Amino acid sequence: MTTYKTNKTTFQLNWYANPYHTPLFVAQSKGWLLEEGIDLAILEACSPSDVTEVVGAGKVDMGMKAMIHVLAAKDRGIDLTSFGTILDEPPTGLIFKKSMNIKGIEDLRGKNIGYIGHFGKIMVDDLMKQAGIPQTEYKMVRVGMNVTDAIMRGEIDTGIGFTNFQRIELEELSGEPVGMLRIDELDGLGCCCFCSIQFVASDEYYKNNIPKIEGFMRALRRAMDLTIEYPDEAWDIMCRANPRLNTPLYTKIFQRTLPYFSRDLLNVERDWTKVGDFCKHLDILKNDFDQNSIWTNEHVPSTGTPSVAPVTAGGVLPSKTSPFAVTPEPVAIEA
């Protein structure tokens, strides 16, 4: 049995490395993670459904996963803490070629519908139940994240995907317009926050590694700033780290993803409240569970690294978060 121990910090992606992971690779390539004492090993996932179990069991230090899956994991006894957001409300729904002539949920009768994992099936089954469509009148097919390939092969007629990813893939590969029935609109949620992508760790790892979590978030803060403000440079870094992404298709996906990157990296209380209630509606989370108990913004930097000091020491609105905060001079009070 080996006694070798690594000093690397492991990070599990929620899929193969792709455009919406760009800030993570920017932080690594720029050396900003190493500046924080973090030698990060980025791991790709063959099956996205494995991520919550692998991270939750402590087999990997940190990872990323959609908000709804973080909550649903809790109901399975997997304790995760979300300490930030990388992708904010990417529109998600059932994508299809326009030639399928799907206009609404009634048009899904008799269709083969692809889903990623267990909870995708639960969401679609619930929508069909709301519409009064029995399970005998449609077929659910598990295709993982390969919805585009499954549609092109004719295995499914429609499937769950992101508007900024699989929808673009299908447009490019099929050569025809692609439609989408957004799940948030069909359910009247008012936002597509259930598919926001979170930074997560097991509760145990999170509690025992606060300095590392803080360093990781400082590096990601810098990387997100660069990705949003200098997207061409960020995409060049991503393609050098992952040469297979250097194609017109993935470049288009990256461009379409830019509006959904989380500028502030913050967990959003409104979203956790709404998604938690949605999970309770789907019966994948106990009604008495407080969904706002499994996330924190405590370690999210409020700003990046300023390039110049403020004209007035401490800034015109000095605060505890100011990187140039100063201690006021004591004032003498005459007796």
What residues act catalytically? 69
On the 0-12 / 13-18 / 19+ scale of CB atoms within 10 A, 100 is middle
Contacts of residue 204, Cβ cutoff 8 Å, sequence gap at least 6: 58, 79
DSSP secondary structure, 181-227, as one string: EEHHHHTT-SS-GGG-EEEEEEHHHHHH-HHHHHHHHHHHHHHHHHH
Give the phi and the psi of residue 215 in degrees, each rounded to 5. Answer: -65, -40
Among candidate residues 169, 61, 76, the one with its CA nearest the CA of residue 122? 76
Q: Which amino acid, residue 80?
A: L
CA–CA dist 92, 183 (Å, integer)? 6
CA–CA dist 225, 301 (Å, integer)? 12
CA–CA dist 80, 66 (Å, integer)? 12
Q: What's 124's DSSP letter?
A: H
* Residue 188, token pair as written in the block: 């009247």
Three-state SS at 232: helix
